[in-house]
Amino acid sequence: MNRTTQPQPSTNSVNYKSWREGFVTAILRIASILGIAVLAIVFPNAAIASRIFFVVLYVILLAITVAPVKYSVRALILLSTIFAIGVYSMLTLNPFGGSIFFIAFITLAALLFDQRIDIVSMAMGILALAAAAILNYFGVLRYGTQASAAPAQWAGYGIVFTATSVALIIAINQFKKEYADAAKGMQNTFQTLANEREQWENRFLERTSDLELRDTQTHSAALISKALTEMQDIPDLVELTARLISDQIGYYHAGLYLLDERHKNAFLQASSSAAGKQLIGQGFPIEPDRLNPFNQVVQQNRPCLVSDAENANFVRDINFPLTRSRMILPLTIRNDVIGILDVHSEQLQSFTLRDVEMIQPLADLVAVSIDNIRLMNQTRNLARQLEASSSAQIRQTWTKLTSRRKSSYQYTPAGVRPIFTGNRSDQTGGLLVPLVLHGQNIGQITLKRKSAAPWSERERILVEKVATQVTLALENSRLVDETQKSALRDKVIANTSARVRQTLDVESVLRTAATELRRVFDLKEAEISIGTDQVENAIPSEKA
């Protein structure tokens, strides 16, 4: 949240005023302390008027030091006291002593007030010095035994005093100007730093807010991804995707479309909004139009961001009148777009590339999940077909096998003997355990006790395990038998081929082939004829 900067008073004026107030207070405190020592030295030898004068001045200084008086009052009284001491010194002591106090008076006036006060103070000092010169010239004011000083001497005092005062005023004003410039520069620097700090704080708050939002969205995307990986049905998958994107990430509408094989129509499969749910199952043509965002996504296989602020590229959807921004992402498998994820927002320019970077992997995961579910369904169907075919083949194979062999054997005290269909005894009252191979019942085990004791569950389980091993052994035996027969057939074919190819003569080839067929199959007679019935007298035949 942005904070409003409050207007502040001028830094240089505040600092200089504070310095002046502290300076006046320090001078008054020092004068209050040193005044006691001055009174102790001057009081015993001074006249009564001088004693009264200094006592009154000290009381005034002590009063303005202790009492809560305004700065201007304190400064004026301090300057008046110094000026009075200077006048007293000039009237009682000598012009030089008064000039020192006048210079101090002008210096403090320049420091404590503006230029008008220091010029007035210098004029007051010059007038006091001129008045003393006039009084001395007419004999009213005397300094020691000398009646009056020469005008040249007073002129020298005046020139020195004026030059010194002007130099001090210029120096102090220059100092005040440099101080003001430095204070102003510092103020500008502080203001710049304050502005930069405020900007950085605002940026930090914005970044923090943005990072918190991104963190929340990223966490939501992770939860959505985890939920999607557990889905095994395409309708449930797309419905969950649309709902979680809308609820967890915070968009008012999310729709998921799947394309037909020719990529000419997009069919809405799931929607998170009430308006979108009414359109589920409808097809939307992907027209070759640059303003159609679906066409841009399908043809270019890349995301598309549109906003109401971009009047040239934004096409308002009558089904979603509240939409101000859209983010359309492709669902891609092996560079083939199989669907579209359409996300709507009610705010202008709500979507950025960061949103694309966050949601696009989710869209890719949805596409991969859809493809995996399709492959799993195809695999299941193929497995069921193979299982059915295998079961039918096993049933046919064992039916054919048992029709040529004795299919039952019985253990008796006399030993193991074959059982024919007509000789089978009553099978009721015993334990019957089927022999199951790949879901097909190829036989059974029948067990009878000598006594009428029932069979326990443990015994039944044991017999079932034995039946399983018997079934596997029978199947392995059949496979070995077929393998041996196949190997024997291959061997016979190879030997016959080798003997037949030993010669290039036609009659020899026919004779050898007839002989080998008769020997291999143990035939009474084998005959090989070549040619058609019309020319059988012209083409030879061989009999073995």
Residue with tokens 């669902």: 331
* Cβ pair 107, 168 in contact under 8 A: yes
Give the model's pLDDT for residue 424: 53
Give the model's pLDDT for residue 224: 67
Structure-model confidence comparison of residues 440 and 147, the more confident one: 440
Type of residue numbered 522: D
**pLDDT tens-place string over residues 413-429:** 667 767 665 455 555 56
**pLDDT tens-place string over residues 321-352:** 888 888 999 999 888 899 999 999 888 888 88
Give the model's pLDDT for residue 537: 52
pLDDT at residue 265 is higher than 70: yes
**pLDDT tens-place string over residues 107-152:** 888 888 876 787 888 888 888 878 877 877 777 776 655 555 667 7
Give the model's pLDDT for residue 87: 83
Give the model's pLDDT for residue 6: 44
> What band does 267 get if pLDDT is binned at 50, 70 and 90?
very high
The mean pLDDT of 506-524, rounded to a whole number, is 77
pLDDT at residue 14 is higher than 60: no
- Whole-angstrom Cα distance, residue 72 to residue 440? 118
Question: 2-16, 34-48, 74-88, 115-129: which range is least confident on average?
Answer: 2-16
Q: What is the mean pLDDT of the chain?
A: 78
pLDDT at residue 305 is higher than 60: yes
pLDDT at residue 363 is higher than 50: yes
- Whole-angstrom Cα distance, residue 413 to residue 443? 23
* Cβ pair 402, 418 in contact under 8 A: no
**pLDDT tens-place string over residues 168-185:** 888 888 887 887 788 788
Q: Is 99 helix (H, G, I), strand (E, B) or coil?
A: helix
Domains delineated in the chain: 11-193 (no CATH), 247-378 (3.30.450.40), 406-493 (no CATH), 502-543 (no CATH)
Separation in Å, CA 299 to CA 266, 268, 288, 342: 13, 19, 9, 16
- Whole-angstrom Cα distance, residue 298 to residue 328? 10
- Percentage of the chain modeled with pLDDT above 90: 2
Q: Is 255 helix (H, G, I), strand (E, B) or coil?
A: strand
* Cβ pair 228, 365 in contact under 8 A: yes
Q: Give residues with Cβ within 8 angstroms of 421, minimum separation 6.
A: none
- Whole-angstrom Cα distance, residue 526 to residue 520? 11
pLDDT at residue 206 is higher than 60: yes
